[in-house]
Amino acid sequence: MIKLRLKRFGKKKEASFRIVACNSTSRRDGRPLQELGFYNPRTKETRLDTEALRLRLTQGAQPTNVVRTLLEKGGLLEKIARPSIAIGKEKLEKEKLAKAKNKDQESDSSKAESDSDEAKS
């Protein structure tokens, strides 16, 4: 199976990546079948060979998650709602609601204590 993945190159701690088509069993930095683009995460620069990418996708090449997001940003693939992302967003919303409830309860209890203190004096 052909995979579209990132191939790392560049200096230590200054990595850049090439988007390549390679066999799924080959190593990350092994010799690719074809180089299809470039991605620099530090500057967010992305260059894509759209014709070659479309050809590989029609041939059945499977992009990795990171490459899929780059292709979605480049407009080559339609954005899909991934279940893991949806679950994560729901979890964050529940946590925000729980924090808000706790804050409200704490503020209500502190108001009640201050009211009782004023009534005593």
* Helices and strands, number each (H, E), in the chain: 3, 5
- Give 48's DSSP letter: E
Q: Which CATH architecture has domain 2-74?
A: 2-Layer Sandwich (3.30)
Domain ranges of the chain: 2-74, 81-121
Predicted local confidence at residue 117, as pLDDT: 61
State the DSSP string of 22-55.
Answer: EETTS-TTS--SEEEEEEETTTTEEEE-HHHHHH
pTM score: 0.63
Tens-level pLDDT at each residue, the chain (121 residues): 888 999 888 888 889 999 999 888 887 777 778 889 999 989 988 898 889 988 988 888 889 888 898 888 888 887 877 777 777 788 888 888 888 888 878 777 766 666 666 666 5
| Residue 120, pLDDT score | 61
